Amino acid sequence: MNPLQENIQLAVKQISEFLEKNQTVSSWQLKVKLRLSSSVLYLALGALYEQGKISLEADDINYQVTWGQKPANAVAAAPTALKENM
């Protein structure tokens, strides 16, 4: 495993532990509190999102990161809203 992969795995663990205690936080707060580079932060968030462990909601230039997924009907509605705006 290369150093970047190790950093991402460590960030996934740190973010998971932080969110278990705090439930919802901004991506900026995660970056600052955990002292993560932007690249590692967003790769780790992507891994957690793909695993279904977090949900993300755009908030200006940041994201609101919430531990756990939103209900299926809320997630299913998002692609439709995106298509309507195109």
pLDDT tens, 12-55?
A: 999 999 999 999 999 999 999 999 999 999 999 999 999 999 99
pLDDT band at 70 (very low <50, low <70, confident <90, very high): low
Total-model pTM: 0.77
Q: How many residues does the chain have?
A: 86
Owning domain of residue 19: 3-84
Question: Which residues lie closer than 8 Å to 45 by C-beta, 6 or more apart?
Answer: 15, 27, 30, 54, 56, 63, 65
Q: For the domain that residue 21 is a member of, what is the CATH number?
A: 1.10.10.10
Domain count, the chain: 1
